[in-house]
């Protein structure tokens, strides 16, 4: 495989920015990083003054449907997708594609999430979108449920604590706190992370009390109580706020991802399925419950509170929910994290080194010798202006340069 050198670029290594550095990689692995490196004979050289090299981005909350999703994800510089609910057969298919191809993003998956019968995400209102998946009625079923998921090859356990009151006016069946606690114990018995879907403050607090490792949404049903961040700190959790999907569901007007999708530099890299997911919810006749409540602002306030308390925050999109798109929405999520108080460098860390550390992805998320050459090169300095992450020049996965031919 050809040795590649990117020289004279600024480098954000996942934690900090280094001006005017060079990076060398070969056989999919970074071999050297420094201000002055020797260019090997025959190396492919990218001279990049005025540009910034980043680790490939990590989306810490997605739902994958097809290989096309992984291809679109990588086209936007997102080289790893953390799937939070998919069928075992689909996960196996996608992992096989990611292992054999370098033009699609890598993935990890929770497989089938733990939920109550008739609850989210399957209910009479939503429909059986996951094909009659197994559910739990009590804590005595937790050990068997988790063991079955381990057999299916999950990478972490997702627990769905969702009564639907944040999203609609019809409550749905939900897991009891005792069942959530039993699921956490079972996951930890298998050395797996346990993460919780919780969109109300009550559910989030119950998940923290049960010992989860992370929350993969922030709540939006009301403003954060002053001691919520203290509880999160004491629990030692990380949080994936998914601010963009909250905005898409609860904001009247055009969500930020749709504005990005109109950018002529970005629109050609959206696949056919993205055209449907970016259709406003109002098109389907959906209206936010209690439209007088500023739910996106509640989510932003909670995120800001957690950030000030030092809780690790991870960038995640919940794509492809309506108003979002794989790959593209992560760039908007970074901007929303900045509005919640993170510096641009902090937001970049939330999509690189922080999710890699929290999910045990020890081979990526930073730019350093010995790590994977999953890389994103952009014009400008995103540590000063987060919007410049969309100025995509080049993408590499496992050291292979991506042909970013427009998808449409």
Alpha-carbon distance of 281 to 245, in angstroms, equals 11
Instruction: Tell me the average pLDDT across 38-60.
Output: 96
SS3 50: coil
Alpha-carbon distance of 215 to 201, in angstroms, equals 11
Residue with tokens 């989860």: 212
Spatial neighbors of 192 by CB under 8 A, at least 6 apart, are 146, 150, 154, 155, 156, 157
Our count of domains for the chain comes to 1
Q: 16, 353 in Cβ contact below 8 A?
A: no
pLDDT tens digits, one per residue of 296-313? 999 999 999 999 999 999
User: For residue 105, what are the CA distances in angstroms to 64, 276, 373?
Assistant: 11, 21, 13
Higher pLDDT, 238 or 169: 238
pTM of the entire predicted model: 0.96
Q: Which DSSP letter does residue 7 get?
A: E
Q: Does residue 123 have a pLDDT over 50?
A: no
Instruction: Tell me the average pLDDT across 51-76.
Output: 97
> Which structural domain, as residue segments, surrounds residue 337?
56-109+217-363
pLDDT tens digits, one per residue of 308-327? 999 999 999 999 998 899 99
Spatial neighbors of 247 by CB under 8 A, at least 6 apart, are 255, 256, 296, 323, 336
Residue 208 lies in a domain: no
Residue 21 lies in a domain: no
Please give the sequence-ordered ranges of beta strands (E in DSSP) within 199-294, or none if there are none.
Answer: 214-215, 238-239
pLDDT tens digits, one per residue of 23-47? 999 999 999 999 888 888 899 999 9
Instruction: Tell me the average pLDDT across 276-304.
Output: 83
Q: Does residue 284 have a pLDDT over 70?
A: no
Q: Does residue 107 have a pLDDT over 50?
A: yes
Residue 133 lies in a domain: no
Instruction: Tell me the average pLDDT across 358-364.
Output: 98
Residue 68 lies in a domain: yes
Alpha-carbon distance of 385 to 18, in angstroms, equals 16
Instruction: Tell me the average pLDDT across 388-396.
Output: 98
b/e string for 211-240 if b means 16 or more Cβ within 10 A?
A: bbbbbbbbbbbebbeeebbeebeebebbbb
Q: Does residue 124 have a pLDDT over 60?
A: no
SS3 305: helix
pLDDT at 249 (0 to 100) = 87
SS3 97: helix
Confidence of residue 9 (pLDDT cuts 50, 70, 90): very high
Spatial neighbors of 199 by CB under 8 A, at least 6 apart, are 162, 166, 167, 217, 219, 220, 221
Higher pLDDT, 221 or 289: 221
Q: 308, 341 in Cβ contact below 8 A?
A: yes
pLDDT at 272 (0 to 100) = 87
Angle, CA 15 vertex, CA 205 and CA 381 arms, to 5°: 115
pLDDT tens digits, one per residue of 157-188? 999 999 888 887 688 899 999 999 999 999 99
pLDDT at 129 (0 to 100) = 46
Q: Which DSSP letter does residue 113 get?
A: P
Residue 250 lies in a domain: yes
Q: 249, 318 in Cβ contact below 8 A?
A: no
Residue 137 lies in a domain: no
Mean pLDDT, the chain, integer: 93
Residue 66 lies in a domain: yes
What phi-psi label fits residue 2: left (phi over 0), alpha (psi between -120 and 50 degrees) or beta? Answer: beta
Q: 369, 34 in Cβ contact below 8 A?
A: no
Confidence of residue 408 (pLDDT cuts 50, 70, 90): low
Residue 300 lies in a domain: yes
Instruction: Tell me the average pLDDT across 331-335.
Output: 98
Q: Which DSSP letter does residue 132 get?
A: S
CATH number for the domain spanning 276: value is 3.20.20
Question: Nearest-CA neighbor of 30 among 369, 352, 353, 356?
Answer: 369
Alpha-carbon distance of 344 to 364, in angstroms, equals 20
pLDDT at 121 (0 to 100) = 82
pLDDT tens digits, one per residue of 342-352? 999 999 999 99
Alpha-carbon distance of 91 to 46, in angstroms, equals 35
Q: State the DSSP string of 177-208.
A: HHHHHHHHHHHHHTT--EEEEE-SHHHHHHHH
Q: Does residue 127 have a pLDDT over 60?
A: no
């Amino acid at each position: 495989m050809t040795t590649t050198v990117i020289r004279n670029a600024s480098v954000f290594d996942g934690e900090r920015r280094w001006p005017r550095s060079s990076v060398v990689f070969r056989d999919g692995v970074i071999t050297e990083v420094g201000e002055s490196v020797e260019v090997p004979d025959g190396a492919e050289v990218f001279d990049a003054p005025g540009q910034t090299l980043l680790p490939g981005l990590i989306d810490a909350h997605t739902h994958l449907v097809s290989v096309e999703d992984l291809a679109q994800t990588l086209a936007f510089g997102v080289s790893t997708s953390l799937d939070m609910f998919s069928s075992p057969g689909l996960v196996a298919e996608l992992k096989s594609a990611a292992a054999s191809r370098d033009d699609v993003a890598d993935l990890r998956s929770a497989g089938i999430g733990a939920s109550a019968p008739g609850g989210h995400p399957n209910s009479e209102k939503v429909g059986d979108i996951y094909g009659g998946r197994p559910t739990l009625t009590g804590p005595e079923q937790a050990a068997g449920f988790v063991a079955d998921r381990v057999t299916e090859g999950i990478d972490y356990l997702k627990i769905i604590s969702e009564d639907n009151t944040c999203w609609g006016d019809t409550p749905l069946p939900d897991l009891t706190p005792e069942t959530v606690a039993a699921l956490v114990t079972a996951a930890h018995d298998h050395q797996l992370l346990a993460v919780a879907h919780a969109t109300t403050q009550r559910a989030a607090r119950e998940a923290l009390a049960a010992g989860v490792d992370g929350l993969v949404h922030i709540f939006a049903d009301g403003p954060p109580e002053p001691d919520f961040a203290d509880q999160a700190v004491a629990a030692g959790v990380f949080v994936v706020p998914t601010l963009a999907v909250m905005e898409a569901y609860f904001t009247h007007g055009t969500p930020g991802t749709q504005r990005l999708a109109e950018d002529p530099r970005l629109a050609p890299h959206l696949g056919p399925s993205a055209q449907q997911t970016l259709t406003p919810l109002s098109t389907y006749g959906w209206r936010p419950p209690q439209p007088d409540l500023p739910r996106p602002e509640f989510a932003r306030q909670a995120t800001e509170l957690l950030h000030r308390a030092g809780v690790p925050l991870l960038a995640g999109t919940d794509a492809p929910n309506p108003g979002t798109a794989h790959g593209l929405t992560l760039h908007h999520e970074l901007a929303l994290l900045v509005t919640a108080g993170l510096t641009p460098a902090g937001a970049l860390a939330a999509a690189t080194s922080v999710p890699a550390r929290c999910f045990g992805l020890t081979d990526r998320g930073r730019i350093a010798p010995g790590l994977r050459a999953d890389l994103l090169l952009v014009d400008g300095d995103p540590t000063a202006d987060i919007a410049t992450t969309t100025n995509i020049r080049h993408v590499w996965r496992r050291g292979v340069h991506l042909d970013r031919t427009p998808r449409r």
